[in-house]
Amino acid sequence: MVAPTGGDVSRVRLLRAWQGARCRARVRNAGPSVVTVAEVVLFDVPHSLPPETAIYGEGFQMLSQTGGTVGQPADLGDYTDGKHYRMPQPADATVLYNLLALAPPHEVECVLAFASSRRFAGRFELRRDSLRVVLDTESRALGPGEEWEMEELVFLSGRHRQALLATLGDRIAVNHPPLRTPAPPSGWCSWYCFGPNVTADDVLGNLDVIAREAPGLRYIQVDDGYQPAMG
C-alpha cells in the first residue's frame, strides 16, 4: 500500500518478492504523472500474539528502546523517540525502528528487521492485534516510469535469539560492508560535556578550539536537529 501526499497513486505498484527469509520490494510508478509518496506500507497484517509476548525493539535513535510485552510495552530509556524527542507517532501503536524481536510464551522467537538502510527509514507499528511494516519515503517525488528499491526486510524464527541476531548481522554486513581502518578513530562528543543543555555557543566555541588545535579533523557528525522538540 502506498500513502500519497500528492498525485494519483492508482497506478503506483508495490512489488514484493521473498527469497528465503528475505523480502525485497520495489515501488513503480506506471502512471503518466509525478506522485509524491509519504510512506510505503510493506505489510499490514493481523496477529494473534498473546498479550504476554515479550518484545524488544530499537528506536529511531540509539537512546530509545522498547521492552515489556505486547500487552504492556515499556520504555527502556529516558530519551525516547516519542516522549523526549516528540517524534510524531500513532496514539494506538508502539513504534519500533529497524528491529523488532518477539518471544511468545512457549514458542519459537521471531526477529523482524531491516537489513539495509540505504535510503529509507523502516519502522514497525505494533498494535495488540495487528502489525504494520512501513518505510518512510518522506513525500519524495516518484516520476512516471520511475522505480524505487525498498530496504531489505528479513523475517527470522528459531529457539535462540542470539543466533537469529547473528544471521541478521551477516545480512547487514552484506548490504553495508564494515569500513576497515588502520586504527580506531578518535573524536569528541558534546553530549558528555554539556548533555541536553548544550547551546549553539557551546558548539561554536568548541569548533574554534578544534580548528585551532585539531586541524586534521576529517568528519563532523550532527545527530540532533531532526526532532520537533527536545526535552
Note whether 22 and 151 are within 8 A (CB).
no
Nearest to 111 by CA among 21, 39, 40: 21
Instruction: Specify the pLDDT at position 196.
Output: 73
Give the pLDDT of the chain (231 residues) as one tens digit per residue: 676 566 787 889 999 999 999 999 999 999 999 999 999 999 999 999 999 999 999 999 888 999 999 999 999 988 899 988 888 899 999 999 999 999 999 999 999 999 999 999 999 999 999 999 999 999 999 999 999 999 999 999 999 999 999 999 999 999 999 888 888 877 777 777 887 788 889 888 988 988 898 888 887 777 666 666 654
Q: How open is the CA angle 132-138-144, to the nearest 5 degrees?
A: 100
The answer to whether the CB of 36 falls within 8 A of the CB of 159 is: no
- Predicted structure pTM score: 0.85
Q: What is the pLDDT of residue 197?
A: 80
Model pLDDT, residue 230: 58
